Amino acid sequence: MMNLLFSCLPRRMLVLLCVLSLGACGFHMRGVANLPFESVYILGKASIAPDLKRSFTGSGIKVLPNEEGAQVLLELLGEQREKRILSLSGTGKVREYELVYTLSYRVREASSEEWGPEQQVEMRRDFSYSDTQLLAKTFEETRLENDMRTEVVREVIRRLSATAPRRAA
């Protein structure tokens, strides 16, 4: 019985050491974005709009149904998905694809008539392909596309937190 207790002790100490070292290095979970505005209106019909709305709402930003009362206007100009062949086998079959997702947008303060410059966020992912694993590769492609969309939303939020107008005091 004592041997069992002492054999578990090194594992417990290792786990405790890992937890303490994570805390000591400054690690912390990603929190909500600290955006410098309180309300936004999203123009455009890009398929990523619901993801952006969800992210804004999670950060405490009101997503308004029209321009009235919005501090910032975000216009989604367009999105583009591409699937490019990266490499072929000796017999001419596709071995790798590259997925590219691009979002174009621009921002302006509601009090201004001038739009900021058009900005683009682009994400790329590569994945291997095999005809014999069609179902698995289709699932992998879908997962990669969803990951790219999530990263694009995060990048737009990061850029807005750095460039948007400051909250009124």
- Can you give the pLDDT at residue 22? 63
49 vs 168, residue with greater confidence: 49
**Residue 12 in domain:** no
Residues 69 and 59: their CA atoms lie apart, in Å, by 18
**Residue 104 in domain:** yes
Contacts with 35 (C-beta within 8 Å, 6 or more apart), sequence order: 56, 59, 61, 157, 160, 161, 164
Check which CATH number belongs to the domain holding 111 and give it: 3.30.160.150
Q: How far apart are the first and last CA of the chain?
A: 64
Total of domains in the chain: 1
Q: Tens digits of per-residue pLDDT, 90-138? A: 898 999 999 999 999 999 998 888 888 999 999 999 999 988 899 999 9
Q: What's the pLDDT band for 168 if we cut at 50, 70, 90?
A: very low
Mind giving me the DSSP string for 51-62? Answer: HHHHHHHHTT-E
- Can you give the pLDDT at residue 5? 46
Eight-class DSSP state of 114: P
Which residue from 121, 125, 122, 123 is spatially nearest to 144, judged by alpha carbons? 125
Residue 166 has pLDDT above 50, yes or no: no
**Residue 123 in domain:** yes
Provide the residue range defining the domain that includes 44: 34-163
| CA 69 from centre of chain | 27
> Taking the model in full, what pTM does it have?
0.74
